[in-house]
Every structure is written in structure tokens, then in C-alpha cells.
Amino acid sequence: GENVEQHPSTLSVQEGDSAVIKCTYSDSASNYFPWYKQELGKRPQLIIDIRSNVGEKKDQRIAVTLNKTAKHFSLHITETQPEDSAVYFCAAVLSGYSTLTFGKGTMLLVSP
Amino acid sequence: NAGVTQTPKFQVLKTGQSMTLQCAQDMNHNSMYWYRQDPGMGLRLIYYSASEGTTDKGEVPNGYNVSRLNKREFSLRLESAAPSQTSVYFCASSALPGQGKLEAFFGQGTRLTVV
């Protein structure tokens, strides 16, 4: 089955800095890559996603890039704010399926 | 439109006791899932149901059973709870490929402690 590796496990930045979280996946048949944000004590919620026919997608301060050849994708957050502090999960979905395989998560801490 | 609703929010069980976690969605999704979340382990799939009438094992199915009662409801049962099943459990739902956006929507979670 699919395996998703996520790095780093924790990331501390100063407010205003950029943050990058990286994921690799094992199965080249995966074609959908969402990112979820989970605030403390809350449920995971989708913040951005990308399909395998697109190399980059941007939504305000967040962007995701995908390198199909290398089988890795990354989340980029610019101008970080304290409210960006949360655990971020990447995931991959195999073509023709709907089940998400998650990475182990990255705890992002943004200090004022 | 409530999205995905799961009950209970908190539960404490003694080793060997049984319980059922309930989940319902009102988004007309075909697919439903049960995940467990443990520190440092991310979200691991226990069971899923791609459509009404079907269920399949995920990554960590041992000690659990599921029932897809109808299109809206998907329950998770612990027949004989063990301390290793102490975790936060999330139910989720999504559309099938080709039937809409693949975004998964999660319930609010159940924090289960087995003593």
C-alpha cells in the first residue's frame, strides 16, 4: 500500500517567517494530495490540495508544490502568524480510490 | 447542515468492556472512514466503507468491527477494549472518485481511555 513520510516532525518559526513542510509518497499511482490543519483539540480540516496533473497551487499565504518524478510534495506558508500554529498533515490518495494515507504530522509553532 | 457527527465525545472504559462509536454524515457521501490518532503516529485508518454495503480493513483493524448501517451511518465497535485502544477516534466521509471533490470531512473526535 501507499506510504507517506513527512518532515520535519516539529517546526518553530518567528512570526513573519516562512515555513516549509515536506512529504514523500511511495506509490506512483497516487494522484491526489491534500493538506490538513489540526488545531489543538479540534478536528483536521482541509487547507489546500493538489492533483497530480498540476505542479503548483496557491491560496493566499499557502501554496503546495508537487514533483511527480521525485514523488514528493511540499506545503509552503509565507508571512506566518501565531494562528498558523497547529499540526499539519499531508496525505496521498491512490487513483480510483478515496482513502487517505496520512503522514505522521508536523507541529508548527509560530512565535510572536 | 451538520456535516459529520460522532458520539460520544469522551468515554472511559474498563479493560474487557465493549462499546460502539456512532457516526453519521448528512453530505450524501458514499465513502466513510474510521481513523485513530495517537501521538507521533498521525492518523491511521482502522476501517473504511467505500459505499453502502461494503466495508474493508485499513492499516490497524485488529480489535475493531464496523457496520455500515445505511448511507449516512457508519459505526465502530470495540468488543473487548484493551489499554492499547486508548486513542482519539475520528470518523470521516468523502465523495468517491469522479463523484465530486475528494475532500474528507471529519467528525469532532472521540477521546477514548481504556483503564
Min Cα separation B112/chain A (Å): 14
Per CB-CB distance under 8 Å, the chain A contacts of B95 are 98
Q: What is the percentage of chain A residues whose pLDDT exceeds 90?
A: 88
Mutate one of A9, A47, A51, A99 to test the B interface: name it (highest B CB count within 10 A).
Answer: A99
- Comparing CA positions, the residue from A93, A106, A87, A92 lying closest to residue A21 is A106
DSSP code of B63?
Answer: T
pLDDT score, position A99: 87
| pLDDT tens-place string over residues B57-81 | 999 999 999 999 899 999 999 999 9
Q: Which chain A residue has the Cα nearest residue B103? A: A46
Residue located via cell numbers 468491527:
B65
Q: Identify whether the C-beta of residue B36 lies closer than 8 Å to the C-beta of residue B89.
A: yes
pLDDT of residue A53: 87
pLDDT of amino acid B22: 97
Q: Do B102 and A98 touch (CB under 8 A)?
A: yes
Copy the grid coordinates of residue A28: 506512483
Distance from CA of A43 to the nearest CA of B (A): 5
Q: Is the pLDDT of residue A36 over 70?
A: yes
CB atoms within 10 A of CB B75: 18
Confidence category of residue B99, pLDDT binned at 50, 70, 90: low
